[in-house]
Amino acid sequence: RDISASCQTDWCSSAEDLWVTVALRTNSRATLNLHICALYLVEQNLGNSFSTQLTNFLINTKRLMESLCLDKFIIIGDFNMSEISWSPSDIGLQPSFLTQSAKFSDFIDSIYECNLVQYNGIQNDRGVILDLVLCTDTVCVTKCFDSLATPEDV
């Protein structure tokens, strides 16, 4: 009774994203809302290009975060942005190399605007970070050594 979860189907964009809100009632009877998004950006989805999906997702996410600014957000998933290199910083990881593509700079700008930090430094077998963990609060990401499935991006 102190914790509940609900699917936020109205929050989905044209990308492959799923939103769930976990509401936790604290001792003071206040409620802490954690909004979790699982995202997969693909080359094309329902006729939408990668750039269109990314733009729609970012616009949607910014709108949600502005209207729910006191809540916590975590966005996890395969963003298919191997062109971005991530380097450790004081807090999380920061982009250390960007191509001259507007879509990548718009993505990084949006992360900063929403006060999201990238925390996943685990590379795939090609030495690339595709799966990002973006959060408005500090999180710890560790490598799974007993995976249920074989990674597909090898």
Residue 154: is its pLDDT beyond 60?
A: no
Q: What is the pLDDT, as a whole number, of residue 82?
A: 84
For residue 143, tell me if it sits in a domain: no
Pair type for strands 31-40 and 48-49:
unpaired
Q: What's the domain range around 7?
A: 3-135
For residue 30, tell me if it sits in a domain: yes
Q: Which residues contact 131 (CB under 8 A, 6 or more apart)?
A: 76, 77, 78, 79, 120, 122, 124
What's the CATH code of the domain at 16? 3.60.10.10
In a 3-state reduction of DSSP, which class is residue 75?
A: strand
Residue-wise pLDDT tens digits, 104-125 = 888 999 999 999 999 999 988 8
Residue-wise pLDDT tens digits, 7-43 = 999 999 989 999 999 999 887 778 899 999 999 998 8
Which own/partner contact pairs does 84-87 have at CB distance under 8 Å and 24+ positions apart? 84/108, 84/129, 85/129, 86/118, 86/120, 86/121, 86/129
Q: What is the pLDDT, as a whole number, of residue 63?
A: 96
For residue 62, tell me if it sits in a domain: yes
Total domain count, the chain: 1
Residue-wise pLDDT tens digits, 64-96 = 999 999 999 999 999 988 888 899 999 999 998
For residue 145, tell me if it sits in a domain: no
For residue 11, tell me if it sits in a domain: yes
Cα-flanking dihedrals φ and ψ of residue 102, to 5°? Answer: -65, -35
